[in-house]
Amino acid sequence: MYNNDLEILADEIAIATEKSFLSLFQNQENYYYCTLVTTGEAVAPVISAWSLEALVTVAKKYAKADAELIKWSYADSPYWNFGYENFETVRELFNERILDYTDEIKWFKEVDFRLEAMVLAMEKIDNKGLFSLTQPRNKVYVNVEVMPPDETNIIRALRLNKKENILDWLNEAAEE
Percent of the chain with pLDDT over 70: 97
Compute the distance between CA of residue 121 and CA of residue 89 in angstroms, rounded to an integer.
Answer: 14
Domain assignment present for 161 = yes
Task: With cut-offs at 50, 70 and 90, classify the pLDDT of residue 149.
Answer: confident
Kindly tell me if the per-residue pLDDT of 161 is higher than 70: yes
Which pLDDT value is given to residue 5? 93
E-state strands within 8-140: 31-39, 46-51
Domain assignment present for 176 = no
Q: What is the pLDDT of residues 32-53, one digit of tens each?
A: 999 999 998 899 999 999 999 9
Domain count along the chain = 1
Q: Are 15 and 7 in contact (CB under 8 A)?
A: no
Quote helix, strand, coil % in the chain, to nearest 5: 55, 10, 30
Domain assignment present for 175 = no
3-class secondary-structure state, position 175: coil
Provide the domain limits for residue 127: 2-169
Compute the distance between CA of residue 69 and CA of residue 59 in angstroms, rounded to an integer.
Answer: 10
Which pLDDT value is given to residue 76? 93
Domain assignment present for 142 = yes
